[in-house]
Copies of this chain bind each other. A is one copy, B any other.
């Protein structure tokens, strides 16, 4: 399965967004009834099956609740909508930009290390296999906001290049090598920076950090990147929705 994207969204996907917009325009809130299928078919000039497919997407993502014989209703879930939730896969740079930070980045570590047993398991490589370790500090207006350590499996990577190639975005550097991380499995906890890193890079006043440790995968499920990202506690706040059936 090559990672070729679709050039044009299907009617169903497009409609899903248009219905979302309509719900907002009509000012519908949790419990309110959505226009009927017949009305929506007229309004959007599409066939009923296509509309139903779009509605199915919205039912599955928790926006709508269908009741046979009565209609569809806005689910309370819709009001939990969060722009760029913690569950959104994106680069640290993009995330920070959305928070109003323009991050400049410097590489403070760039070496090849053998994979520990744990890291090997995370990245699906052999114990002891070579990993590229990139340590970076990113900041905004002279203030350090993020310390991160990225571990990339060298296997299949091709030429490693120079530290500067990886300074701004490890994701982008991987994409340039034909490896596109698109999703990740992550865990968050509160901690301090590693003592050694703090001392070595003058980060003693970093304060509590929100550590997100994550393994990133390509669309085909190949693990390509293991990151430990320490976000300065007083600079970042990650939003998300909590629901009973979240998986």
Q: Which residues of A contact B (CB under 8 A)?
A: 1, 4, 6, 10, 12, 29-31, 33, 49, 52-53, 56-57, 59-61, 65, 67-68, 73, 75-77, 79-82, 85-90, 182-192, 207-211, 214, 217-221, 231, 233-234, 236-244, 246-247
What are the 4 closest A-B residue pairs judged by CB atoms, nearest first?
A30-B221, A190-B233, A76-B221, A208-B208
Give Cα distance in the complex from A190 to B237, angstroms. Answer: 8
**Listed A/B pairs (27) with beta-carbon separation below 8 Å:** A1-B33, A31-B219, A56-B57, A60-B61, A61-B247, A76-B182, A76-B219, A81-B247, A87-B246, A88-B244, A89-B242, A89-B243, A89-B246, A182-B244, A183-B242, A183-B243, A184-B241, A185-B239, A185-B241, A187-B237, A188-B238, A188-B240, A189-B210, A190-B231, A192-B208, A210-B210, A240-B240
Give Cα distance in the complex from A71 to B90, angstroms. Answer: 27
Q: Is A185 a contact partner of B49 (Cβ separation < 8 A)?
A: no
Give Cα distance in the complex from A237 to B186, angstroms. Answer: 10
Report the copy number of this chain in the oligomer: 2
Closest-by-CB residue of B relative to A71 is B1
Contact partner, A87, options B10, B207, B242, Cβ 8 Å = B242
Nearest CB of chain B from residue A8's CB, rounded to whole Å: 9
Residues on B with beta carbons closer than 8 Å to the beta carbon of A87: 87, 240-243, 246
Q: Is A1 a contact partner of B49 (Cβ separation < 8 A)?
A: no
Residues on B with beta carbons closer than 8 Å to the beta carbon of A243: 87-89, 182-183
Nearest CB of chain B from residue A171's CB, rounded to whole Å: 12
Given contacts A190-B210, A242-B88, are A77 and B183 in contact (CB under 8 A)? yes
Residues on B with beta carbons closer than 8 Å to the beta carbon of A68: 6, 10
Q: Is A189 a contact partner of B247 (Cβ separation < 8 A)?
A: no
Nearest CB of chain B from residue A71's CB, rounded to whole Å: 9
Nearest CB of chain B from residue A17's CB, rounded to whole Å: 11
Nearest CB of chain B from residue A66's CB, rounded to whole Å: 8
Residues on B with beta carbons closer than 8 Å to the beta carbon of A12: 56
Which of A1, A29, A186, A210 is packed against the most chain B CB atoms within 10 Å?
A: A1
